Amino acid sequence: AKINGKNRYEIYDARMSEQIREELDLKQSLHHALDNGEFILHYQPQVCGKTFEVIGYEALIRWNHPEFGLLSPYHFIRLAEETGMIIDIGEWVLQEACTQTKQWQMKDQRPGLKIAVNLSAQQFADALLPQKVFKALEDSGINSESLIIEITETMVLQDFDRSIDTLNQLRAEGIKVHLDDFGVGFSSLSYLNRLPVDAIKIDRSFINQINKDTTEVAIVNAIISMAKSLGLQVIAEGVEQQEHITYLKQKGCYEYQGYFFSKPVPAQCVSL
């Protein structure tokens, strides 16, 4: 029994160190990923429910790791935050997304095409953020009205007054701000009322409950009517089925994003 116990301990220990080593490996290679051009953006359409036209795209980062292949943000965003590398990576995302959008706008004569970019908490807290955003607009040549910044409630609540100031700076230039993953956080009417944003995105965990007759449906209804009473636009993410669209339309939500229309795809696979 003693030997078994020891073996078990060793296996456990080996697994532990393997996990730590993998994370260290990933951390190491993350340092060079930007210089090596290993990041790539995929794009997912946001669709108008009235005309079924593509309004714009959300840019979603992937890491083309030389050893592990294409990694989703879940595998490296936290690491990038911890190491502070998210600041440079985020700046690259802004530049790349805006540059790509300019190409689409010119090539396809769609000057109004929008691009949504996700920010991380650290990026949002960076005092230089507004300047970096304005520079991406300038360098790419897209209009400020084409750019949507996606932030989350948790990011805003870390320093509410400062967040309002940052958002005002962005919106004063015509940039749109959308509140992502809405419903999973604190979602209080009183703070939402004070927050200078243009739209909220209902989290997909609520959308995929729509035809299941659960309490989440009541939350979807509440979010839509709350958004309406505050004069905010409302976007549904994670739209996967026709039933979702039928329901959302009936409730007055007319902007959708999800696998029903397209998964996120590389720029060259985007069909406008």
Give the chain's length: 272
DSSP bridge partners of 148: 116, 176
Among 180, 202, 206, 236, binds Ca ion (CB under 5 A): 180
CA distance 146 to 233: 16
**Does residue 241 contact residue 220 with C-beta atoms inside 8 Å?**
no
Angle ∠(44,49,55) on CA atoms, nearest 5: 45
* Residue 46, binding choice from Ca ion, ligand C2E, none, Cβ under 5 to 8 Å by partner class: none
Is residue 181 part of the contact set for Ca ion (CB under 5 A)? yes
Contacts of 123 (CB under 8 A, 6+ apart): 86, 87, 90, 129
Q: Which is nearer to ligand C2E, 183 or 238 (CB)?
A: 238
Backbone angles phi, psi at 58, to 5 degrees: -100, 130
**Does residue 152 contact residue 122 with C-beta atoms inside 8 Å?**
no
Applying the rule CB under 5 A, the residues between 215 and 244 that interact with Ca ion are: 237
Q: Which is nearer to ligand C2E, 32 or 263 (CB)?
A: 263
**Does residue 252 contact residue 228 with C-beta atoms inside 8 Å?**
yes
* Residue 240, binding choice from Ca ion, ligand C2E, none, Cβ under 5 to 8 Å by partner class: ligand C2E
Among 150, 170, 223, 224, binds Ca ion (CB under 5 A): 150
* Residue 175, binding choice from Ca ion, ligand C2E, none, Cβ under 5 to 8 Å by partner class: none
Q: Which is nearer to ligand C2E, 169 or 241 (CB)?
A: 241
DSSP 119: -
Least distance to ligand C2E from the beta carbon of 257, Å?
Answer: 6
Q: Side chain identity at 18, as an amino acid letter?
A: E
Q: Which is nearer to ligand C2E, 121 or 222 (CB)?
A: 121
Q: Which is nearer to ligand C2E, 79 or 222 (CB)?
A: 79
Q: Which is nearer to ligand C2E, 151 or 227 (CB)?
A: 151
Closest C-alpha among 28, 190, 44, 42 to residue 114: 44
Joined together, the tokens standing for residue 239 give 């739209």
Least distance to ligand C2E from the beta carbon of 232, Å?
Answer: 18
CA distance 31 to 235: 35
Residues at the contact surface with ligand C2E, assessed by CB under 6 A: 44, 60-61, 72-73, 77, 90, 93, 118-120, 180-181, 204, 237-240, 258-259, 264
Joined together, the tokens standing for residue 207 give 């959308």
Is residue 255 part of the contact set for Ca ion (CB under 5 A)? no
Q: Segment near Ca ion (CB under 5 A), from 13-21, 75-83, 174-182, 243-251?
A: 174-182
Joined together, the tokens standing for residue 2 give 């003693």
* Residue 61, binding choice from Ca ion, ligand C2E, none, Cβ under 5 to 8 Å by partner class: ligand C2E
Among 118, 120, 163, 187, binds Ca ion (CB under 5 A): 118
Is residue 153 part of the contact set for Ca ion (CB under 5 A)? no
CA distance 250 to 199: 19
The footprint of Ca ion (CB under 5 A) covers 118, 150, 180-181, 237
